[in-house]
């Protein structure tokens, strides 16, 4: 979330940013709640001072009636302090709730627009394959080679779940190995993360674990939810911590299952395994110095790694600079990688990389002490997708299909799959 004083001192800029991002927030209500909180703090301090002064007079009182009056006064003051504290707690809760609805500020170079289509193509890589036959989509290819069992997934867990089978299993493991091998060489510390996280960790990273609009599966009668991405667990790993400034940036990578309700999803993008309830993902996460130059540099590093992974797979893609209306709450700037998917005849998102500046760390209380500043400062956090297996698998199957119906295995994955083609 944004700093409260920053919001109230820059109402015009914050308001314009909210409009650009398509978010409706009552900034006047936030200012009023801050004023109310300050008044309650002042009143509480005043009453406590009076309470202390009154208590100090009790031992000095010689008249029993005077002493009884002071004791009664002390009781009234205690009750008043309790009432003010309760009111203050309620106001602070309302203030935090409103403050957390305010999205992050936006990088000045991010394209302004409300619709996903207003994002800007930064660059493209690779040649879109030209087939001398009608290409199949991944669902048809999976049926042909017995790679995915959608009916079995539906029988076991419902629509949107699936079994990977045969070479698809080997490809999943190979994609994970390919990504973590790359990240390890790049100096990232590897993690296999929990598939569950506490509610405050989800809220801290900007995810809504409850309510009608949530995309999160919550566990009944607990404060736990299934994670939608290892961004949640890696971000929460250092919650309430002070990081040694000399150790920044911290470069983390996590392998996890991801669970999403995909409420409201429909259309051709929902066909097959493009948008599903569970998939495996290798995530990139970073903590940098609390400086935009430092986090911008790390952001570029994440995007470079994502591009090199898909270049290594030989898959044509484009990089999108995401417009303000599609950034979500935490991101200061975001780049998506979209691979060409012949079965759809269009590009489909396969990775996303976001610089969240101090938006998440302020919620999670992750700080550092800089040599030239007093006190602790909130670090910057960043995240990106190395490989989301389900979507990378679509791109591999569809781009590497051959006229005879077989599917070539990308050379980079063959040492793990153990064969050159499927079929």
Q: Any residues with CB less than 8 A from the CB of 354 and at least 6 apart, and which? A: 299, 327, 328, 330, 331, 332, 333, 334, 382, 383, 384
Q: For residues 263 and 113, what is the distance between their CA atoms, to the nearest angstrom? A: 24
Q: For residues 175 and 198, what is the distance between their CA atoms, to the nearest angstrom? A: 29
Q: How many C-beta neighbours within 10 Å does residue 97 have?
A: 11
For residue 352, indicate whether it is catalytic.
yes
For residues 121 and 336, is the Cβ–Cβ distance under 8 A? no
Active-site choice (34, 362, 367, 391): 391
Three-state secondary-structure class, residue 213: coil
Three-state secondary-structure class, residue 351: strand
Helix axes 27-57 and 11-20, enclosed angle (nearest 10): 140
Q: Any residues with CB less than 8 A from the CB of 35 and at least 6 apart, and which? A: none
For residue 391, indicate whether it is catalytic.
yes
Active-site choice (352, 354, 361, 390): 352
Q: For residues 169 and 148, what is the distance between their CA atoms, to the nearest angstrom? A: 9
Active-site choice (21, 34, 275, 362): 275
Q: For residues 338 and 347, what is the distance between their CA atoms, to the nearest angstrom? A: 5
Active-site choice (34, 172, 231, 260): 260
For residue 349, indicate whether it is catalytic.
yes
**β-bridge mates for residue 319, sequence order:** 123, 337
Q: For residues 42 and 48, what is the distance between their CA atoms, to the nearest angstrom? A: 10
Active-site annotation, residues: 260, 275, 349, 352, 391
């Amino acid at each position: 979330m944004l700093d409260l004083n920053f919001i109230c001192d820059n109402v015009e800029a914050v308001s314009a940013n909210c409009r650009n991002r398509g978010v409706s927030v009552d900034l006047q209500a936030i200012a009023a709640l801050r004023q109310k909180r300050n008044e309650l703090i002042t009143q509480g301090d005043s009453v406590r001072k009076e309470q202390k002064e009154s208590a100090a007079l009790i031992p000095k009182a010689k008249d029993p009636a005077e002493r009884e009056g002071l004791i009664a006064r002390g009781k009234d003051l205690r009750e008043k302090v309790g009432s003010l504290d309760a009111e203050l707690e309620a106001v602070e809760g309302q203030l935090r709730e409103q403050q957390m609805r305010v999205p992050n500020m936006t990088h000045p170079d991010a394209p302004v627009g409300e619709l996903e289509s207003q994002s800007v193509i930064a660059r493209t890589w690779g040649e879109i394959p030209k087939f001398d036959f009608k290409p199949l989509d991944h669902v048809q290819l999976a049926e042909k080679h017995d790679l995915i069992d959608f009916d079995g997934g539906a029988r076991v867990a419902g629509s949107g779940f699936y079994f990977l089978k045969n070479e698809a299993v080997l490809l999943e493991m190979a994609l994970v190995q390919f990504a973590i091998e790359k990240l390890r060489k790049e100096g990232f510390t590897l993690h296999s993360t929990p598939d569950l996280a506490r509610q405050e960790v989800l809220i801290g990273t900007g995810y809504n674990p409850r309510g009608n609009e949530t995309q999160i599966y919550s566990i009944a009668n607990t404060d736990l939810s299934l994670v939608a991405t290892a961004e949640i667990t890696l971000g929460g790993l250092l919650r309430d911590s002070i990081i040694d400034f000399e150790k920044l940036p911290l470069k983390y990578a996590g392998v996890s299952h991801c669970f999403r309700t995909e409420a409201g999803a429909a259309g051709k993008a929902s066909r097959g395994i493009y948008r599903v309830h569970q998939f495996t993902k290798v995530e990139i996460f970073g903590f940098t110095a609390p400086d935009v130059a430092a986090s911008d540099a790390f952001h570029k590093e994440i995007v470079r790694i994502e591009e090199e992974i898909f270049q290594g797979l030989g898959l044509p893609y484009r990089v999108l600079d995401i417009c303000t209306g599609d950034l979500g709450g935490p991101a200061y700037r975001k780049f998506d990688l979209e691979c060409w998917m012949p079965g759809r005849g269009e590009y489909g998102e396969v990775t996303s990389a976001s610089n969240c500046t101090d938006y998440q760390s302020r919620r999670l209380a992750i700080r550092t002490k800089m040599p030239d500043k007093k006190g602790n400062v909130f670090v910057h956090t960043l995240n990106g997708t190395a490989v989301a297996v389900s979507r990378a698998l679509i791109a591999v199957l569809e781009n590497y299909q051959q006229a005879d119906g077989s599917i070539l295995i990308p050379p980079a994955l063959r040492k793990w799959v153990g064969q050159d083609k499927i079929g």
